[in-house]
Structure 1
Amino acid sequence: MTDTLIDRRDLAFQLYEVLDTENLTTRERFSEHNRDTFDAVIETADKMAREKFATHNSAADKDEPKFVNGQVEMLPQVKEAFDAYAQAGFIAGRYDYELGGMQLPESVMAACNGFFTAANPGTAGYPFLTTAAANLIRVFGNEQQKTTFLPNMLSGRFSGTMALTEPHAGSSLADIRTSASPTDEGHYLIKGAKIYISGGEQSITDNIVHMVLAKIKGAPAGVKGISLFIVPKFLVDGEGNPTERNGVSLAGLIHKLGYRGTTSTALSFGDDAPCHGYLVGEPHQGLKYMFQMMNEARVGVGFGAAVIGYRGYMHSLEYAKDRLQGRRASEKNPESPQVPIIDHADVRRMLLAQKAYSEGGLALCLYGARLMDDQHTHPDEQKRQEAGKLLDLLTPVIKAWPSEYGPKANDLAIQVYGGAGYTREYPVEQCWRDNRLNPIHEGTNGIQAMDLLGRKIWQDQSHGLQLLMQEMQVDLQAATTDRCQQWALSLSETLQQAVKVTQSLGKSLMEGDPDKTLANASCYLHLFGHIMVAWMWLRQANAASHALGSANTDDERNFYQGKLQAAQYFFHWELPTVAQDLVLLRNQDDTCLNMKSEWF
C-alpha cells in the first residue's frame, strides 16, 4: 500500500513552476528563506505526516474517542502526533520569529499542512483549529490576552476551538442564544450551549481555549449583537498557567460518519459552575472578527478536501497498476495473461477524473494561499489590496469546489478498487467518509453559493470580479501551443457567456427579486468553480508545455505529458458540463423555487 500522500513532483511543479513561490524570498518578510529552506520544511512535513499521523489514521477511525465520566479517552498516538507537530514549529510556522515562528509563506505552510490532512484528517484538526484560534487573538485580542494565551497556543501547550453552532442555530448565527453578562471584575459570565464543536474536549493539551460567540445582555438583535469571547477550559494565572476549572463542561460526544479522530462535542457553559469569558475586541463585533477565522477555516476545508481526494487517487492509482484483471478488448486469446486494470480505458477515465479533480483542486487552493501571501507581504500596496479583494471573492469557491469534487474523486477511487474498495480492509472508503464532511462544515456549500452570488460578486462594484478577469487574461494570452490555444479559446468563450449571465442576474437582483435570482445559486457556484479550475489547468498546461521541450529524462517528459492529458480531460469532459448551468441561470429556471413543501 502506497504511503504517498501528495505527489512531491506535482507539488514542486505547482509551487515553483506555476506559482513561482521562490520569488517570495525577495520580500523582506521571507528574505531569510530560499527554496532549500522551503523544501526542507516540506520534506519534514511529508516525513512526519507519514510516520506520526498516517500510522494511526485507521486505528483512530476504528477506536474513536470515548466519553467516560465526563472526560474524553483517546488513542495515545493522537497526542504524540500533536506534540510532534507543535515541537517541529508547525503551529507557529507562519508567525513572526519573535513569537517563535518561522515566518513561512502561507503557500508553503498550506502545502505542509496538506500532508498532515491527507495522512490523518482527524488528528490534523486539532493543531489547525489551534492555529486559527491563536490568529484571532493575535489580530483582535488585547495585550494581556496575547501575552496570556498566544505563547501557550503556539507552543502546543494549549489548543483552540471555534464555538459557534447551537442546537437551534447552525448556519443562522443571528439566532444564537448563548449569553454574556458583565461582572465588576471585568470578565463576563457565559451561559448557554454549543454543539458540533470540533476539538471541544480532548486529552491532548493542558488547556483548551474556546473562541465563543455570545450576546451581551441588552445587545441589538441579530448578527449586530454578537460578541466574541475567550473561554478557557481552565482559568489561568498571570503567567498563563492553568489553575481552577472554568464552568465549561462536556455534555456529550457526537458520533460521526468520518473525521472520527477529531472529537465532535456538545458543550455546556455556566450550568455546573460560573463560566468566565473574556471579551475580544469591541462589543457586538464578534461575527466580524470570527469571519476571519471562518474564512481561514473555509480555505482550509477546501485544501483538506483536495488532499483527501488526492490521497484516495494515489491509493487507487497504485492499485490499478498492480491489480491484474481481464484482457484488452482486442485480445481474443482467453489464455493470454491478464493485464493490470489500468490498461482498461474506463479505469483510465476514472483515474484521469481523479487526477483532474485532485490536482486541479490543489492548484486552486495553492492559488488562494498565494493570494494570502500577496495580501500581506506584496511590496506594492495596491497589489496587496487587489489580492485581498480576489481572496474575498474566491473564498466560497476555494471552500466549495474542492469539497464537492474531492469526495467525487474518492467515490471514483472506491470504484477503481471494485468490491475491495467498499470494504474496510482498504483505505479508500475511509477517505470518502472523512471527505464527506467538507461540503457541510464551515458553511455548507449551499451557503457558499448564496454568499458568492448574493454578495461577493457585487462587492465594491464587482471590482474583485474585474481583477479576476484581468488575471485570467494573462494566462489566456500566454497559451502558445496549439492544444493550449484551443483550451484557452474554450475557456474564453465560456467566460464570456458567464459574464453575460452574471450581468443578467445582477440586473434581477437590483430589480428586487432575490428569491428567484438566488434560487439557482448552486448552479452559479458550479459554473464559477469549473471556470476557475479550468483556468488552473490552463496555467498548468502552459507551464508544462513550456517545460516539456527541455525535459531531459523519461520521468520528466511523462510528468509533463500527464499534466497536458489531464488538462485535456478537464477541457473535454468537465468544462462542457457548465452548459446546463448557463441555461438554467439564463432562464432563471423556477422549478425548485416553485416546488411546494406539501407536494413532496
Structure 2
Amino acid sequence: MSLRTTLNFLLYEWLDVNQLQQRARFADHSQETFDAVLDTCERIAREKYAPFNRLVDIEEPRFDGEKVILPQATHDAQKAYAESGMLSAAQDYEIGGMQLPYTVEAAANTFFAMASVSMGSGLLTVGNANLLMAHGSELQKKVFALNEFSGRWSGTMCLSEPQAGSSLSDVMTRATPDGAAYQQDPLGMRYRLKGNKMWISAGEHELTENIIHLVLAKIPGADGKLIPGVKGISLFIVPKKMVNTEGQLTGVRNDVASAGLNHKCGWRGTTNTLLNFGEGKFRVSTDNSDSDGSGAVAYLVGEPGRGLGYMFHMMNEARIGVGLAATMLGMAGYEASLEYAKNRPQGRPVAGGTQKVVKDAAQSQVRIIEHADIKRMLLAQKSYCEGALALELYCAKLVDEQHTGSAESADEARLLLEVLTPIAKSWPSEWCLEANSLAIQIHGGYGYTRDFPVEQYWRDNRLNMIHEGTHGIQGMDLLGRKVLMEEGRGVKLLAARMLATAQKAQASPDLVNDAKALTAALQKVTQATQMAWSTGQPQEALANAVPYLQAFGHLVLAWIWLDVSASCRGEANPKQTGRQAAAQYFYRYELPKIDAWLNVVGNRDMTCANLSEEAF
C-alpha cells in the first residue's frame, strides 16, 4: 500500500480534516488544495530526494577549514523545498504563507522524511522562525523569521555543550552587554556571546545566504558569576553573517565558527558541528569605546532568564518532528522489506503430521512472504509504523485545534499535547527503529549490506532515540511532570477519549474484546501511576520512568489502533483488512507487554537505582 493511500485514509476518513475548512483561517481551502500540496511534495520528494538518499549517505559533508562542502543534490533539494512554499505553509497570507492546517503540512512532509530524512528539509528552520514569531520583537520577526520562511536563510537550535547534553542547567556559554550598543541596537538588546555548542545540526553550510542560530546562554550576575540552574538561561539570536534592519547582509562575518564536523552513524547527509562562539576567528569591530569588540554579536529574545521556556516552543515542535521522521524511516524499511518478501524465493511448504515436520524437496520454492514468521515481522512493522503515523497526525490536528478551536477545545488540545508529546517523540523512535531491525531480518544476510537500503534506514533511525531528549528524559517528563500537571487534568482528558473510543468500538462485535482490553490497560496504567507516587518520593517514583513511558506509549498506540480500526469497519477491501489485521496484531502481540513494564513501576522496584557502581 502506498504512503499516499495511507495518508488519504488517515486525513480524510479518520481525522476528517475537511471539517477544518469551516474555520475562518482555512476557509479558502478545499480537499483539492490539500491534495495539490500533497501532490507537489510527493513529486519533489520522488525527484529531488529519493534518488540521492544513498549518495548523501556515502558522500558525507566535508569541512575544508573554512566552509562545509555538500553534494549538489543537497543544494538542489533544499532549493526545491524552499520554492514549494512548505517553509511558510502554515503562516499567514500577509507574510507569504498558505494558512495551511498543520495536519496537512505534517502529512505533506512525510514524503520528504521517507524519501531521504538524511538530506533534511526545513524542520529546524521552521521551528526557529516559529519561536521568533511567538517570542521575538516585531523587527526580529521581520528581519530573521520572515527570511527563514522564504528559504533565503536557515536556522538552528543551539542548546547542548560538550560538557552539558541534557543537563541544560550546566551550560557555560555566557553573554555580556555590548557596551553602549547594549540598548541602542534596534534588532534587540545587544550582547557579546562566548562559548561552545555541540551537536548542532545544519550548523555550518552554504545552502542558504545566512544561518540564524538560536543560542541558550547565561548572563552573569553583578558579581560576574553565572547564575546556577535553568533560571539564569536566556535566549539569543546569533546570525552567522551580520545583517541590518532591512534584512540585508552587511558583509561582516559574525564571530561564529565551526570547529569541525561530527561523523555520525546515520543522518550523514546533514552537517552536524561543534560551533565556537566568540573565540576571535571573525572579530566584529565596534565603534563603542567601552567595548573591546570580542565575542559573537547576539540579540536577546524576550526577557532575560526566560530562555529555556522560549526554547521549549521549538523543542516541543521538534519532538513531534523527530517522531514523524522516525515513523517514516520505519515506513521506508517496511515497504522495502515487503517488496523483498514478495519476490525472494526461499524454503518450501511444511507438511507432515503431529510428530514430524516434512519438507518436500521436489516441490518448488515459495516466496518468503508465504512463511508465517515473515508475515509476523511484516505485520509488526505495519502495526508500529502505521500506528505511529496515525498518532503523529492526531497530534498535528491537536495543534490546529489549539490554534483555531473554541476556547474550551483549544485548552483541551493544549493539555492533551502536553501529555502526548513525550509519547509522540519516544514511541516511534523506539518501535519504528525495531521495525527497521525487522526489515533487515527479513532481508537476511543481504539486509546488512549496502546493496539494499534497509541498513541505512536503521542507522538513520538510531539517532532518533537520542536527539530532542533521550528516553530517560522523556520518561521523567511524562511521569514526573506531565501526568501531575494541573492536578492530572491532561491524563484525565486522555482517559476520557480512550473510554469514548472503547464505547464506540463496542458497536462492532469483533472489537468488543479489544475495547475491553483497552479499558483494562487504562486501569492498569492509572493504578501504576498512583502506586509510583504513593510514597511521595520522586527517587522511587522515577526509578522506572522508562518502563512507565513504554507502557504508557503502548496504551496510547492501542487506543489509536482501536479508533482507526473502528472507523474502517464495513469496508471489505484488502487495504482495510490489512489495517484491521495490524490492529489485531497490536492487541494480541504488543499490548500484553505492558504488564511486565508496569510491574516494576507499581512496585517501585529499586533494583537498578540502588545498585552500586562497583557491582557493575
Q: TM class, shorter-chain normalised?
A: over 0.9
Aligned to 1:554: none
Conservation of the 8 A alpha-carbon contact between 2:548 and 2:601: yes
Query: Which residue in the other structure is 1:238 paired with?
Result: 245
8 Å Cα contact 2:348-2:365 kept in structure 1: yes
Kindly report which structure 2 residues correspond to 1:145-294, keeping only aligned pairs within 5 A, or say none: 145-183=140-178, 184-186=180-182, 187-218=190-221, 220-243=227-250, 244-272=252-280, 273=283, 274-294=295-315
Q: Which amino acid aligns with 1:531?
A: L
Q: Which residue of 2 aligns with 1:524?
A: 548
Once residues 163 and 418 of structure 2 are traced to their aligned partners in structure 1, the CA distance between those partners, rounded to angstroms, is: 28
Q: 2:343 aligns with which of 297, 316, 322?
A: 322
Q: Could you tell me how far apart the structure 1 residues matched to 2:583 and 2:518 are?
A: 12
- Corresponding residue for residue 375 of structure 1: 402
- Report the 3-state secondary structure (helix = DSSP H, G, I; strand = E; otherwise coil) of the residue aligned with 1:94: coil
The one-letter code of the counterpart of 2:278 is: G
Contiguous gaps of at least 5 residues in structure 1: 552-556
TM value normalised by structure 2: 0.93
Question: For 1:306, what is the secondary structure of its paired residue?
Answer: helix
Partner secondary structure for residue 346 of structure 2: coil
Aligned-pair CA distance for 1:8: 1.4
Report what 1:29 is aligned to.
25
Which residue of structure 2 aligns with residue 459 of structure 1? 485
Q: Distance in 1 between matches of 2:17 and 2:348?
A: 45
SS in 2 for 1:520: helix
CA contact (8 A) 2:217 2:233 kept: yes
Counterpart of 2:196, as a letter, is: A
1:394 matched residue in structure 2:
420
Q: Give 1:277 deviation, angstroms.
A: 0.4
SS at 1:519 equivalent:
helix
Of 29, 41, 57, which aligns to 2:37? 41
Q: Distance in 2 between matches of 1:194 and 1:284?
A: 19
Q: Quick check: 1:539 aligned with 2:563?
A: yes
Q: Give the Cα–Cα distance (whole angstroms) in 1 for the partners of residues 589 and 230 of structure 2.
A: 43
SS for the counterpart of 1:441 is coil
In structure 2, the partner of 1:481 is: 508
Give, in whole Å, the separation in 2 of the partners of 1:318 and 1:286: 48
**1:67: which partner in 2?**
63
- 3, 15, 40: which is aligned to 1:7? 3
CA shift for structure 1 position 238: 2.5
Q: Does 1:576 align with 2:572?
A: no
Q: Deviations over 1:105-127 (max 9, x none)?
A: 111111111111111112225x2
- Matching residue of 2:574: 558
Q: Is the 8 A contact 2:128 2:145 kept in 1?
A: no
Is 10-19 or 155-164 further displaced after alignment? 10-19
RMSD: 1.2
Measured in 2, the distance between the counterparts of 1:438 and 1:69 equals 29
Aligned partners of 1:228, 1:55: CA distance in 2, in Å?
A: 39
C-alpha deviations, 1:454-475, integer Å up to 9, x for none?
0110000000011101111221
Q: Does 2:365 match 1:338?
A: yes
The residue type paired with residue 169 of structure 1 is A
Query: Runs of 4+ in structure 1 displaced over 6 angstroms?
Result: none
Deviations, residues 112-147 of structure 1 (Å, cap 9, x unaligned): 11111111112225x211000011111111011111
Q: Which residue is equivalent to 2:330?
A: 309
The alpha carbon displacement at 1:324 in A equals: 1.3
| SS class of match (2:463) | coil
Structure 1, residues 371-410: CA drift from partner, whole Å, max 9, x if none? 10101111x2110001000001111111000101011000
Task: For residue 97 of structure 2, give the secondary structure of its aligned residue in structure 1.
Answer: coil
What is the DSSP-based 3-state SS (H/G/I as helix, E as strand, rest coil) of the residue aligned with 2:604?
Answer: coil
Letter in 2 for 1:242: L
Residue equivalent to 1:429: 455
Amino acid at match of 1:532: V
1:171 counterpart SS class: coil
The letter for the 2-side match of 1:57 is N
CA contact (8 A) 2:384 2:435 kept: yes
Does the CA contact (< 8 Å) of 1:353 and 1:569 recur in 2? Answer: yes
SS in 1 for 2:445: helix
1:183-209 per-residue CA deviation (whole Å, 9 max, x = no partner) reads 221310010000110000012000000
Q: TM-score when scaled to structure 1?
A: 0.96
Distance 2:74 2:63 in 1: 16
Aligned partners of 2:220 and 2:227 also within 8 Å: no
Distance (whole Å) between structure 1 residues aligned to residue 597 and residue 471 of structure 2? 16
Quick one: distance in 2 between partners of 1:333 and 1:241? Answer: 76
Following the alignment from structure 2 to structure 1, what is the Cα–Cα distance between the partners of residues 360 and 168?
66
Residue 381 of structure 1 aligns with an amino acid whose one-letter code is A
- In the TM superposition, residue 317 of structure 1 has moved relative to its aligned partner by 0.5
SS state at 1:438 partner: helix
Distance 1:192 1:585 in 2: 40
Contact 1:248 1:267 in 2 (8 A): yes
Letter in 1 for 2:593: T
**Partners of 2:143 and 2:318 in 1: how far apart?**
24
The residue number in structure 1 matching 2:53 is: 57
Count residues with an aligned counterpart: 583
Task: Please state whether the residue corresponding to 1:336 is helix, strand or coil.
Answer: coil
CA distance in 2: counterparts of 1:583 and 1:505, whole angstroms: 10
Secondary structure of the corresponding residue to residue 188 of structure 1: strand
**CA–CA distance in structure 2, aligned partners of residues 367 and 300 of structure 1:** 13
Pairs within 5 Å for 1:74-89: 74-89=70-85
1:28-84 Cα distance to aligned partner (Å, 9 max, x none):
111111111111111111111111111111100001001102210110111110110
Residues 70 and 251 in structure 1, CA contact (< 8 A), matched pair in contact too = no
- In the alignment, the residues of structure 2 paired with residue 439 and residue 47 of structure 1 have an alpha-carbon distance, to the nearest angstrom, of 29
CA contact (8 A) 1:421 1:428 kept: yes
Q: C-alpha separation between the residues in 2 aligned to 1:527 and 1:196?
A: 30
Measured in 2, the distance between the counterparts of 1:507 and 1:24 equals 43
Cα deviation, residue 526, structure 1: 0.6
Deviations 1:165-188 (A, max 9, x none): 101110000000101011221310
How far 1:332 moved relative to its partner?
4.5
In 2, Cα distance between equivalents of 1:91 and 1:58: 25
Residues 512-543 of structure 1: CA deviation (Å, up to 9, x unaligned): x2111110001110110000000111011101
Unpaired runs of 5+ residues, structure 2, are 183-189, 284-294, 352-357
Contact 2:199 2:262 in 1 (8 A): yes
Q: Distance in 1 between matches of 2:140 and 2:522?
A: 47
- Once the 2 structures are TM-superposed, how far is the Cα of residue 336 of structure 1 from its aligned partner? 2.1
Residue 507 (structure 1) aligned to one of 534, 538, 554: 534
How far apart, in 2, do the equivalents of 1:155 and 1:79 lie?
Answer: 16
**What's 2:443 paired with?**
417
Instruction: Give the letter for the 1:281 counterpart.
Output: G
Alignment partner of 1:567 out of 580, 583, 589 = 583
Which amino acid counterpart does residue 305 of structure 1 have in structure 2? A
What is the CA–CA distance in structure 1 between the aligned matches of 2:22 and 2:534, rounded to whole Å? 44
